[in-house]
Amino acid sequence: MSSLTLDGYGGLIILGAVTTLLVALAATAIGSLIGILMAAAKLSPSRVLRHFAGAYTTTIRGVPDLLVIFLVYYGGSSTLSHVIGKPIEINAFGAGAISLGLVFGAYATEIFRGAILEVPRGQFEAAAALGLSGYRQFIHVIAPQAWRLAIPAFGNQLTVLLKETALVSLVGLEDLMRRTGFAVEGTNRPFFFYLVAGVLYFVLSFAMTSAFGTARRKTATALAR
């Protein structure tokens, strides 16, 4: 019976799983916005914007994700404190969402850029022939087609992001991994509780993969019509 209730730690671990999911969703929102902006910069005729976006993706992808988390958590607090003039501390959730969003954004940039380049050139010409402004061309014609092409890689990267949330536990976030550690310390049953954590990570990853698979099929069906 104690195993079924996880020795009283079931609720704690579920809360940790919810925190993990919320961090992943927040990082996805931040990273997607960064990815769109940086993809636009890379495709921009401006050399400055192209170089800036290139430096961002190269730098972020070239350093360990854990280092980015530490830099945001410790460096972000000290920088804000210096700018504002009083002590400011970025909490673990905020640091996790921002840092993982920066990492996710670097990969999302290349995903979105590649997807936009895959859209047939004729679609750009057709949108221009309709007299649409550049913004409306992108929103109504290019973006829907690019999104369909980006879904598989985007979904895979989101699954990677979900697993990387475990790193944020090292700066104090009480996510699934950290709360599982509390259960291990309280019961001395590491194999059992880490197995439970593994199952929960798998369930969350499987749910995300299934959701993106459904989205890809629906998008393909709608486009075929």
Q: Residues 38-74, buried b or exposed e (16+ Cβ, 10 A)? A: bbbbbeeeeeebeeebeebbeebeeeebeebbbebbe
The confidence score (pLDDT) of residue 225 equals: 55
Separation of alpha carbons 183 and 187, rounded Å: 6
Classify residue 89: in a domain, yes or no. yes
How would you write the pLDDT of the chain (225 residues) with one tens digit per residue? 445 567 788 999 999 999 999 999 999 999 999 999 999 999 999 999 999 999 999 999 999 999 999 999 988 878 777 777 777 778 899 999 999 999 999 999 999 999 999 888 777 667 677 766 666 777 777 788 888 889 889 999 999 999 999 999 999 899 999 999 999 999 999 999 999 999 999 999 999 888 887 877 776 665 555
Residue 138 tokens read as 């992108």
List the Cα angle 183/189/194 in 5-degree steps.
70
Task: Output the domain CATH number for residue 95.
Answer: 1.10.3720.10
Number of domains in the chain: 1
Q: pTM for the complete prediction? A: 0.88
The confidence score (pLDDT) of residue 83 equals: 74
Per DSSP, the residues of 119-136 read: S-HHHHHHHHHTT--HHH
Range of the domain at 57: 20-175
Classify residue 181: in a domain, yes or no. no
